[in-house]
Structure 1
């Protein structure tokens, strides 16, 4: 049984372990080793993980008392963005990602019109997962150039019965 809860500061090491384990697998072959190393240093440092737990919404998926996945949300301009959603490789395909996405949507403030995410343009597995959940082309996005490697996706929430 997979349970999802809000992360607490005591989860920092376990959340980092998910990133350090999953990020190189997710992006190996898609991105350069330098890009992967820079991302691990910038987004998965103890300080970065602690900041996201304290100031954003960080969710963890737990199975048998072990953290197997995480999702991180935050605001950019007037938009809510799903910055991270990672499940340990040997736990993928068993519902943890969907459980994290469901909890992420439920954690948003009432009336949030859309949840955005950015995804690597070559990450067909992730794009397929998000499309199957209902993400498509976003209505609007923050005024930020993602470059050629990343693209925005959006999930409209009003029509999905989000309250």
Structure 2
């Protein structure tokens, strides 16, 4: 069957939640959300989510969201003079099962999100924590350009250095 990318379905969530917990155990990603992984996978500003499937099994996912004024990426986008956030989309919650890294699933998931945004005339910006070097390498291979350095704040006063990257449509 091989690797395929398709829109995420609700019945993917239990398997994706289990993958997310494995990713967190290995990489510390995400820094929050593993107490309720299925809840974390659902995003209030979701435009579309995709699932990577390998031989019928969900192995990863990405969600594309509408930008909101409080998003680090949206603030950096505006501060950098890139334009209004009304036409900005933010890919979030990208992860791939550690056993399937190197398969191209991460790239294909991001390409699905980018294609969706571009066909709708949306620009792309997102933040990534500096500790997540594999993700940064992927984004840079896709043509993303760092436009700002930020501090990602989460939980009870925790913080992590991050950068905001942008892709123009």
TM (normalized to structure 1)? 0.75
CA deviation profile, 1:98-142 (whole Å, cap 9, x unmatched): 111111112225211x2112111122222112111111124x9xx
SS at match of 1:3: strand
Structure 1 unpaired stretches of 5+: 29-34, 158-163
- Given that 1:83 and 1:117 are in contact with CA atoms closer than 8 Å, whether structure 2 keeps it comes out as yes
Question: Match of 1:13?
Answer: 14
Q: Which residue of 2 aligns with 1:48?
A: 40
SS in 2 for 1:101: helix
- DSSP 3-state at the match of 1:106: helix
Q: CA RMSD in A?
A: 2.7
CA distance in 1 between partners of 2:142 and 2:97 (Å): 19
More strand by percentage: 2
1:141-162 CA distance string (max 9 Å, x none): xxx96355222111122xxxxx
Q: What is the distance in 1 between the residues matched to 2:25 and 2:45? A: 25
What is the CA-CA distance between 1:24 and the residue it aligns to?
2.7
Q: 1:83 and 1:48 mapped to 2: Cα distance?
A: 11
C-alpha distance in 1 between matches for 2:49 and 2:40: 12
Structure 1 residue matching 2:144: 3-state secondary structure: coil
Could you tell me how far 1:83 is from its partner in structure 2?
1.1
Q: Does 1:67 align with 2:33?
A: no
Unaligned runs of 5+ in 2: 69-84, 154-159
Residue 121 of structure 2 is aligned to residue 111 of structure 1: yes
3-state DSSP class of the match of 1:52? Answer: coil
Matching of residues 1-163 of structure 1 within 5 Å: 1-27=2-28, 36=31, 38-41=32-35, 44-49=36-41, 51-52=42-43, 55-77=46-68, 78=85, 79-108=88-117, 110-112=120-122, 114-138=123-147, 146=152, 148-157=160-169
Q: TM-score, normalization: structure 2?
A: 0.72
CA shift in 2, pair 1:54/1:96, >3 Å: same
